[in-house]
Chain A
């Protein structure tokens, strides 16, 4: 059951910019395109561009990606990705935005920092709280960044690859159990 021995997925090669990548470039935001996830354009943008890019994509009449499906955090052992799935209520387009946060560059290795988008997008509020709780991405300027699923003073972030479970009277091995 150790999580560290699972192999990382292969690094994906870069592709040329798609529709949304070009749109962002026209507005002065650089992005690189990664391998598509099931025919959905996947782009990687830098930390500082995240907030303006999402603001633009949400409000602009060209894109109108006004539905934030989910924010997921993925721990790739050396970096943590914050992944935004954007859809639209009006049309069929979809976009996946990834922000890569290397663990080493952060002063505090326990959490990695990122800008919150909950101030202009209410849907992000709980998703960011959950990602902070389980994966440990600290969203700066979040209105109420508190653990949401685990108790408020839980230690550690369970979906990190190096998370060690706490063993006490509530979850130690039962002598009658086979496990």
Chain B
């Protein structure tokens, strides 16, 4: 296969191909400048920034209360996580206490959001592999159910603005918990259906097995995190290694890649993570305590103490960090995002070089990059 292509003596002229920024498979606006030798990629230069919306600059110019509403756009597929990272940083600087019910609600909505993000990844990944508008109907159907649940508590399908500094915004009704239970009860069957269609499909196996092998040392050198590095067999999940929130009280496993860290392993990691998240949702629902939902009053002139702090959480794409420097006023002095997609995308050239051009989208899809998360 491709390895044979590498060793042939056939010489071709070098060709430079521009891929993007408008390309159906780049999940937005990534531009890749590829230098090709026949079919083989010799050099890759990712050009990012086509969606640079100045989120960090906005953080300096908006009050904290206003900025809370904006940060869902940093990573729109996992808005709960971006809100949570920001809220964590501000809470740790401020030292305010978060009520246990708010902690459990946060974990609950975050795990739901992890599932919805992975479902969208599953659909688009299969589109990248060539299952154009056939398979994606299935994961999107479940995603709609999750989005309806989010809409009921947060008010919108994607831009939640639900997790706030000090707690959460709204206490859901008991009927909402029942709906979540209904979803979690049937979701494992749905994952079985996806797996029946995809996991052992010979075409998918040909496209993914042994493709885009991410070496452990390379991954660590580039600071890759999330399912991408867990596919390579490194057990690094912030929920276990640096537990935050109520994760120490919950019981779950970290799925790891079984082979050498190829595209199929990363696919499998995410599938198994969805099952784990489903368990976590059930646990949160069982242990959900009663009580307050916010430890800080949500007013327009929301202030935190002066100080600086870096908080990181495990988002569906990896370590999502937020570095806040506060000077005690209602605006932050500097907000810096550490986005998992930005760091994971940096490893893309080393994965692509030496591969045929048809593998680009399979590899790019498997590291699950969201472009606003790259560009802010």
Contact = CB atoms under 8 A, between A and B. Distances in A.
A176 interface: no
B130 interface: no
B329 A7 contact: yes
Contacts, number: 102
Contact of B310 (A40, A67, A158): A40
Contact of B308 (A9, A121, A150): A9
Interface string B191-220: 000000000000000000000000000101
Interface in B21-68: 48-49, 52, 54, 56-57, 60-61
Given A10-B327, A92-B241, A37 B342 contact: no
Contacts of B52: 149-150
A44 interface: no
Interface stretch (B256-264, B269-277, B317-325): B317-325
Interface range, B side: 35 or more
B220 to A, nearest CB: 6
Contact of B338 (A38, A75, A85, A125): A85
B346 A72 contact: no
A72 B329 CA distance: 21
A178 interface: no
Interface in B206-244: 218, 220-223, 234, 236, 241-242
B326 interface: yes
Interface in A125-161: 125-126, 130, 134, 147-151, 158-159
A70 B61 contact: no
B337 to A, nearest CB: 8
A47 interface: no
Given A3-B60, A66-B220, A9 B306 contact: yes
A99 to B, nearest CB: 15
Interface string A65-91: 011111010110000000101000100
| 10 A-B pairs with the lowest CB-CB distances in the bound complex, closest first | A123-B223, A149-B49, A38-B309, A70-B338, A72-B336, A9-B327, A149-B52, A37-B308, A38-B92, A126-B346
Given A70-B336, A123-B343, A149-B52, 14 more contacts: A1-B61, A9-B307, A9-B328, A35-B307, A37-B310, A38-B92, A38-B93, A69-B223, A89-B220, A89-B234, A122-B222, A123-B223, A149-B375, A150-B52
